[in-house]
Structure 1
Amino acid sequence: MAMFTRPAILHNRLYHGFYLQPFRTFVDARVKWVRDAYLDFAVEKEKNLKQIISLKNLIISQPSKTIPLSTASVYKTTFNLPTTATNFFQKYPSIFEIFQSSKPLSLPHVKLTPQALTIHNEESKILNSAHYRKDVAERLTRLLMLTRAKKLSLNIIELLRFDLGLPHDFILTLLPEFPEYFQLCNMDDNSNVFGLELVTWRDDLAASVLQKRSTEENSGIKRAIPIKFPINLPKGFDLEKKVRIWMHEWQNLPYISPYEDAFFLAPNSDQAEKYTVAVLHELMHLFVSKKTEIENLLILGDYLGFGPRFKKALVHHPGIFYVSNKIRTQTVVLREAYKKDLLAERHLLMGMRYRYLHLMNRKMKPKRLYGVRVNVSNKHASPVKRG
């Protein structure tokens, strides 16, 4: 099996002057939070999208492709719904259809509308394509390569599953296709916590987005110049002069690949902070929407051994990461990935998710029958469907 990390080699490069810098710490200045209306909207417009897709996957996984409305209450906690499941279904009549079966004494059920089913079928073609499955397997591999143990709890992977674009049943459908990449493991000899472990280190995947970009910009030649993070501050945002000076010097520090183990660096040094930002930056690039809930990052950061350093890096570098307070949580957005409120490079899966968003925003006229709201389109009102 290939060697996983090269801390000794990296340590020698630092010690002999390749990376060695004076120990410095962040300046004693407050970096204020300034609202970015475009990125707030990028977050807010996807409100309830994750819940919609989770419920859609639940319904489609049933043999009948329906679920009883009477059992819907258990899904409020499971999928973190903002209201009761019944109210949630009724809020999105273009996605979910509540109907009464023709069978005697049958209870109301929920199924997908024909429009939602069409999008699901097209989404399934993408998720089952060889190109997509290789892409998502490689992004999952990179995630494992960012961990020192080269393994990660399935509980943490589940937290990031939506952001990574993993199929909802990835353990059964994706992992068996790539036995040369992954294997299931126990996270601890004395626990029942299962995880996913990297089988073999992949040198071809061990270059970060910034390293690849730097090589491309220099026509494939690796030059001894600092790799800097793209900075994109909103209009009206002005850093204090001493913060700008610190940022300039910090950007010129050597860039250490997030796929290296640099935990021998003094944790409060600027070099360690640039390494922390490099790991965060690469993580954000693994996500299909280039954003995630801050709690996901902090939980992952604790597992990776960064402790509070992830949170500190997010505060210190508002030109790299934006933290939105929309949709009942805090969401970290990678600034460089967006042009106003749109992704600069849209991932294939995000194209499908935007189609769900479009359907979610369609206005439908509700109709009541048997005390249950039944969904009928404004344009084509039709009798209640039974089946």
Structure 2
Amino acid sequence: MRSIIWQSVKQLTSKTTASRLFSQSTSIPKKQVRVRDHAYDDYMEIQKKVRKVLKFQDLILSQPNGIISASRLDSISRRIGFKQFESGRFVLKFPHVFEVFEHPVQRILYCRLTRKAAAQIELEKAALHRQIPDAVTRIRKLLMLSKTGRVRMEHIRIARKEFGLPDDFESSVILNHPQFFRLFDADETRNKYIELVERDCTLTVCEIERVREREYREKGVDAEEIRFSFLVNFPPGFKIGKYYKIAMWKWQRLPYWSPYEDVSGYDLRSLEAQRRMEKRAVAMIHELLALTVEKKMTLERIAHFRMIMDLPKKLKEFVLQQQGIFYLSTRGNHGKLHTVFLKEAYRKGELVEPNELYLARRKLAELVLVSPRKARMEPELASYRRDGLDDHTRDVGRDLDDVVDASYSDEDESCSGSDIDESC
């Protein structure tokens, strides 16, 4: 008798727990275990090295003539978190980026960038300048995603690298296009804002809508089946049960409002409206990531746009709820950094449709990944050639310089004609 009662209690408890795990608005489990995808995590481990290399590059380029003594480099590098004598070991790890040479007169060691690293910087600058028209379109679409049509200048400045904006974007992008943007200072907060002058209906097509059209034309799937669906690709090892498949099928067919649509006039108190708003938030994050150069952004920077885009408070849990659409990586900064990837834009850790700026930035990662054993170095670091380059490196650097010169000549011809919430 006791066993029968105990089994009935267990069944009732399991049913209650299962009903609680599923969201009443989307029927998808609210809390899910994050399943790792090593392709994205390995990508972030490479980016961790690249970020440190970029910090050292900025230190060296800020010095006169772009050279700095080894002793001064060690003292300045402590400001960016390096310990004593750690900068020397770090520089020697990447001989294809940093060159250590002995000054012919002072007889002390100096550090500078190699010709290949300098050529990569010029390539990135040229690519950044050529894609300014695309950057203007990105900012216009970003402002159209905002429910007020305005975004704080500081939030865009923090995420300028993700959107492919130069450091002087306020003058080169915003002020140079007064027909699209307007700058103003808020009286109550004294913050500078960027406001959209006029909405353009031709820019209100989301990236996911283009993907659906491509899927329809290439694969010939039923248009009604993919009308409101997203491309879903779960990570390896993700357990998909029968009830989860049913919930995902219902969620994929759920209608929702476009991220560019104004929903201020709708009654959002009903259960149906809550369902649509949750799926609209997924489309909002999807479109925000699609506007970036590398189709990724940290969760902390997405949180800056949370209020103006009506995103949920618990962003981390919300993103983890859609592991088939986004991937959340905690690699690269001892678990303190959360990077959100748009999964459909990547395949085997690389962009499916790479752009010029992405390829220019990738060249630096290639220099970082080259083994130090392939660099011809003297053990004592005292018998370097004055130009610091062997014949092979000289040829590669000359080829890169030719590419840079060609890009600049093309450029001349064309010119002549809130903080993240506690859950994260």
- For the aligned pair, the TM-score class normalised by the smaller chain equals 0.7 to 0.9
Mapped partners of 2:393, 2:215: distance in 1: 57
Deviation at 1:355, TM superposition (A): 0.8
Query: Could you tell me which residue of structure 2 aligns to residue 196 of structure 1?
Result: 194
2:331 to 322, 326, 335: 326
Aligned length: 349
Mapped partners of 1:272, 1:82: distance in 2: 48
Among all aligned residue pairs of Structure 1 and Structure 2, give the percentage whose two residues are the same amino acid.
28
SS of residue in 2 equivalent to 1:115:
helix
- Describe the shift of the 1:253–1:169 C-alpha distance in structure 2 as closer, same or farther (beyond 3 A): same
Mapped partners of 2:393, 2:282: distance in 1: 54
Query: Could you tell me which residue of structure 2 aligns to residue 96 of structure 1?
Result: 98
Query: Could you tell me which residue of structure 2 aligns to residue 276 of structure 1?
Result: 281
Q: Deviations over 1:70-106 (max 9, x none)?
A: 377566666x77996666544433223355656769x
Query: Could you tell me which residue of structure 1 aligns to residue 252 of structure 2?
Result: 251
Mapped partners of 2:57, 2:302: distance in 1: 26
Give yes or no for contact 2:45–2:332 (8 Å, CA) kept in 1.
yes
Paired residues for 1:60-139 under 5 Å = 60=61, 64-66=65-67, 70=72, 88-98=90-100, 110-129=111-130, 132-139=131-138
**TM-score by structure 1 length?**
0.76
Query: Could you tell me which residue of structure 1 aligns to residue 179 of structure 2?
Result: 180
Q: Deviations over 1:149-207 (max 9, x none)?
A: 22222221122122112223322333343222223322x21334223222222222111
Paired residues for 1:257-336 under 5 Å = 257-262=258-263, 264=266, 265-266=268-269, 269-308=274-313, 310-328=315-333, 329-336=337-344
Give yes or no for contact 1:98–1:375 (8 Å, CA) kept in 2.
no
Mapped partners of 1:184, 1:81: distance in 2: 39
Deviation at 1:128, TM superposition (A): 2.1
Mapped partners of 1:171, 1:86: distance in 2: 37
Larger radius of gyration: 2
Please, which runs of 5 or more residues in structure 1 have no aligned partner? 1-22, 383-387
Give yes or no for contact 2:257–2:277 (8 Å, CA) kept in 1.
no
Q: Deviations over 1:16-47 (max 9, x none)?
A: xxxxxxx8344556422211122222322222
Compare the two structures and name the one with the higher helix fraction: 2
Deviation at 1:259, TM superposition (A): 1.0
1:344 equivalent in alignment to 2:342: no
Q: Deviations over 1:276-305 (max 9, x none)?
A: 000000011111111122211123224534
- Describe the shift of the 1:75–1:203 C-alpha distance in structure 2 as closer, same or farther (beyond 3 A): farther
SS of residue in 2 equivalent to 1:358:
helix
Mapped partners of 1:55, 1:198: distance in 2: 37
Alignment-mate amino acid for residue 324 of structure 1:
S
Mapped partners of 1:202, 1:314: distance in 2: 29
Worse-matched range after superposition: 198-207 or 166-175: 166-175
- Describe the shift of the 1:76–1:197 C-alpha distance in structure 2 as closer, same or farther (beyond 3 A): farther
Give yes or no for contact 1:324–1:330 (8 Å, CA) kept in 2.
yes
**TM-score by structure 2 length?**
0.70
Alignment-mate amino acid for residue 209 of structure 2:
Q
Give yes or no for contact 2:256–2:277 (8 Å, CA) kept in 1.
no
Deviation at 1:228, TM superposition (A): 0.8
Mapped partners of 2:366, 2:188: distance in 1: 48
